[in-house]
Structure 1
Amino acid sequence: MPQLIAQPIVTTEYLCDSLGLSKPQAERAVKRLEEAGVLTRRGGARRNVIWEHRRILDVLDEYAAGLRRG
């Protein structure tokens, strides 16, 4: 989870590299997080799938909007 806060848009390859997971482990992890509503699939059918943590991105968007207003 700390990786998702620092990097709210991930691929399974990123998770493998940053956490030292095997590809099957990373795929199981994103599947569980998707089922829990933490990650949302974006782009790609089987290849080049990107997963995003929408809630973190929403917080960042709100912060950026506040900076523009401020």
Structure 2
Amino acid sequence: MIELLQAILDHDNPPQPRVQRAAHQAVVGRRGTVEMLAGDKDPAVRVAARDLSAAIDSHSCEACPSS
């Protein structure tokens, strides 16, 4: 998900840290949804939620507030 957002933002466009930061905050702001999906009955949904959570936790770039 994060890589998709980055690819969209980077495609033939100059870096836009404010837009990137807003996109990142939108993803992180849905952390509760990821946590809810991590408890889903479907194992594939749980794996996808775990992978997205790990990507959010390990992501770092110049637009991230924590960078």
- TM normalised by structure 2 equals 0.32
- TM normalised by structure 1 equals 0.32
